[in-house]
């Protein structure tokens, strides 16, 4: 098989790597970046840590700190106007997946014009935008290495997937120390997001030997260290392992695909404003149970990589352990059902067919080992509700 592998040109990885930013900007030829971040990063002093580094190196900069969780077209368009009105020659995204995705989308829109919807998968993105250095502060989305950005259409509430080389950062700084401040809920949700990336990449119909190696390594790291980072937020070794696992999981799914969990999770996020990792977590155990019969050996390999089973046990036993373990970790990390999250039952059930349609249109369910019908997706939405 032939696999197309897309990755950033350079990754600077390790505790304290943030200080390498000025040198990295020089290496990728950026002289005046626009720093894209969110209000929390600005108000908590994390943005100042970046701008002080730039000042120290005599590098001019601007700031766009108005990004919102789950980026919207309104915010992306405002950011793209700022690029058009300035003399920036690059972007630095500081934050979780939301600021990174916002910066990617801003660069695409500024270079190509039109509306974000014009570039929704499977539409191509004709022109490359400004080079982007991504600096993640969560260990979850992997957006720093992926060829995707996810933007919610303000008019329709649709979470749109935009993909291609122009949606890939030119470089990433992967510094786990930036994740030490994550509170428990964010640590858990983003950690399960990364685990979902790894599992879905491995069972995807578009898996390949490159994505497999990244996915298995990511699963092993994340499964071993997620409970520790939740119990001991200041544990450097566990935070480092989670960050590395999340980045590897990003490399895996970006070069294979995500599948049914992500396809069904995006509409829950868009309609009910559930954080991305949490909506994935709500779905992961039941969708694994639904999908596994179509790819028992692949799911069994996941169980082995996560240390849940022994290859001698056979696939059936390994997959049963995997499904049990995914249900258990949801309980241990207090992942609520949609009902316990406070989502109105009537509205959820009314919207289930629309959510299923949107999931199908995103293309992700088509990569699942077991491709569901709309009716099966509606049943899965109903099953996870309570």
Q: Is 367 in the site for ligand NAD (CB under 6 A)?
A: no
According to the binding rule CB under 6 A, does residue 162 interact with ligand NAD? Answer: no
Please report whether residue 150 would count as binding ligand NAD according to CB under 6 A.
Answer: yes
Closest contact distance (angstroms) between CB of 52 and ligand NAD is 18
Rounded to whole angstroms, what are the CA distances from 29 to 36, 89, 231, 294?
18, 8, 42, 48
Task: Return the number of the residue (80 or 182) whose C-beta is nearest ligand NAD.
Answer: 182
Residue 276 in contact with ligand NAD, rule: CB under 6 A: yes
Site string for ligand NAD, 81-100 (x = CB under 6 A): --------------xxxxx-
Among 51, 154, 181, 354, indicate the residue that binds ligand NAD (CB under 6 A). Answer: 181
Beta pairing class for 132-136 and 159-163: unpaired
Spatial separation of the C-alpha atoms in residues 18 and 49, rounded to whole Å: 9
Segment near ligand NAD (CB under 6 A); pick from 124-132, 181-189, 209-217, 241-249: 181-189
From the list 72-80, 110-118, 132-140, 168-176, the region that binds ligand NAD by CB under 6 A is 132-140
Q: State how far the Cα of 120 lies from the Cα of 113, in Å rounded to an integer.
A: 14
Binding flag, residue 164, ligand NAD (CB under 6 A): no
Q: At what angle do helices 345-361 and 260-272 cross, to 10 degrees?
A: 130
Question: How deeply is 311 buried, as exposed, middle or buried, from its count of CB atoms within 10 A (0-12, 13-18, 19+)?
Answer: exposed
Q: Is 321 in the site for ligand NAD (CB under 6 A)?
A: no
Tokens 């509430």 belong to 157
Q: What is the CA radius of gyration of the chain?
A: 20
Q: Is the peptide bond before 163 cis (omega within 30 degrees of 0)?
A: no
**Residues 364 and 257 sit within 8 Å (Cβ to Cβ):** yes
The residue within the footprint of ligand NAD, chosen from 179, 204, 364, 367 (CB under 6 A), is 179
Instruction: Check if the beta carbon of residue 30 is closer than 8 Å to that of residue 4.
Output: no
Q: Is the dihedral of CA 373, 216, 252, 336 positive or negative?
A: positive
Query: Which C-beta is closer to ligand NAD: that of 40 or that of 61?
Result: 40
Q: C-beta of 300: minimal distance to ligand NAD in Å?
A: 26
Distance CA 183, CA 181 (A): 6
Q: Is 15 a binder of ligand NAD (CB under 6 A)?
A: no
Is residue 182 part of the contact set for ligand NAD (CB under 6 A)?
yes
Q: Which residue, 57 or 184, has its beta carbon nearer to ligand NAD?
A: 184
| Residue 148 binds to ligand NAD (criterion: CB under 6 A) | yes
Per CB under 6 A, does 149 bind ligand NAD? yes
* Piece in contact with ligand NAD (CB under 6 A), picked from 112-120, 174-182, 327-335, 375-383: 174-182
Q: Is 70 in the site for ligand NAD (CB under 6 A)?
A: yes
- Pick the piece of the chain touching ligand NAD (CB under 6 A) from 11-19, 80-88, 138-146, 366-374: 138-146
DSSP states of 269-311 as a string?
A: HHHH---HHHHHHHHHHHHHHHHGGG-HHHHHHHHHHTTS--G
Q: Does 137 bind ligand NAD (CB under 6 A)?
A: yes
8 Å CB contact between 99 and 36: yes
In whole angstroms, the minimum distance from the beta carbon of 276 to ligand NAD comes to: 4
Site string for ligand NAD, 21-60 (x = CB under 6 A): -----------------x-x--------------------
Closest-CA residue to 203 (of 315, 282, 290, 301):
301
Q: CA 368 to CA 366: how far, in whole Å?
A: 6
Q: Please give the torsion angle defined by the CA atoms of residues 140, 141, 144 and 150, in that order, rounded to the nearest 10 degrees.
A: -160
257 scored as a contact of ligand NAD (CB under 6 A): no
Q: Residues interacting with ligand NAD, by CB under 6 A?
A: 38, 40, 69-71, 95-99, 101, 137-138, 140-143, 146, 148-150, 178-179, 181-182, 186, 190, 193, 276-277
């Amino acid at each position: 098989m032939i696999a197309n592998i897309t990755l950033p040109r350079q990754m600077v990885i390790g505790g304290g790597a943030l200080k390498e930013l000025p040198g990295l900007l020089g290496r990728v030829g950026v002289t005046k970046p626009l720093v894209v971040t969110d209000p929390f990063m600005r108000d908590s002093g994390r943005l100042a840590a970046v701008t002080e580094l730039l000042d120290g190196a005599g590098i001019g900069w601007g700031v766009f700190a108005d990004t919102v969780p789950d980026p919207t077209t309104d915010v992306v368009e405002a950011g793209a106007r700022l690029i058009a009105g300035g003399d920036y020659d690059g972007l630095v995204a500081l934050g979780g997946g939301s600021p990174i995705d916002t910066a990617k989308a801003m660069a695409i829109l500024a270079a190509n014009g039109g509306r974000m919807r014009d570039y929704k998968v499977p539409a191509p993105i004709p022109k490359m935008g400004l080079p982007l250095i991504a600096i993640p502060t969560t260990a979850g989305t992997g957006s720093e290495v992926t060829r995707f950005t996810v933007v919610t259409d303000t008019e329709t509430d649709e979470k749109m997937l935009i993909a291609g080389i122009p949606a890939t950062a030119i470089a990433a700084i992967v510094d786990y120390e930036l994740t030490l401040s994550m509170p428990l809920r964010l640590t858990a949700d983003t950690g399960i997001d990364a685990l979902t990336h790894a599992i879905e990449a491995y069972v995807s119909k578009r898996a390949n030997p490159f994505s497999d190696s990244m996915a298995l390594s990511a699963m092993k790291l994340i499964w071993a260290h997620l409970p520790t980072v939740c119990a001991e937020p200041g544990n450097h070794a566990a935070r480092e392992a989670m960050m590395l696992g999340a980045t590897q999981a990003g490399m895996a799914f970006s070069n294979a695909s995500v599948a049914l969990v992500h396809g069904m999770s995006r509409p829950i996020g868009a309609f009910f404003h559930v954080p991305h990792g949490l909506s994935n977590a709500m779905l992961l155990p039941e969708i694994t149970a639904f999908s596994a019969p179509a790819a028992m050996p692949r799911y069994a390999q996941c169980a082995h990589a996560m240390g849940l089973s022994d290859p001698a046990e056979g696939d059936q036993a390994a997959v049963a352990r995997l499904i049990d373990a995914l249900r258990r970790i949801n309980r241990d990390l207090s992942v609520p059902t949609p009902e316990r999250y406070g989502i109105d039952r009537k509205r959820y059930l009314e919207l289930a067919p629309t959510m299923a349609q949107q999931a199908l249109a995103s293309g992700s369910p088509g990569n699942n080992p077991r491709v569901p019908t709309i009716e099966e997706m509606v049943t899965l939405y109903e099953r996870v509700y309570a």
